[in-house]
Amino acid sequence: MTTTTLVATYKNGVLELPERLSIKEGEKVTVTIYDAETSETARRREEIARRARGMWKGEFDPDEFIERIRERRLINTRPDPTL
């Protein structure tokens, strides 16, 4: 799956693209629209998320983490109620 980010202009009910896309005629795509003011912020967030992928690989075991949470939930931290 390829991701392409570009800025388009909306005119007369149609998005005008600055360049041709390398997709086949009739091919379906997913379009996410950001306001022009936030498109740069969204691009930065996407870039940060892309760079962060895999940062914890080998440093963090999610299965072990989940198991520790389960074990801690088994510990009774509340006093027994007295009637």
d(CA 6, CA 22): 13
Would you state the pLDDT for residue 27? 92
pTM greater than the 0.85 cutoff = no
Position 12, amino acid = N
Give the residues of the chain that fall short of pLDDT 50: none
> Six-digit token pair at 7?
């800025």
Amino acid residing at 60: F
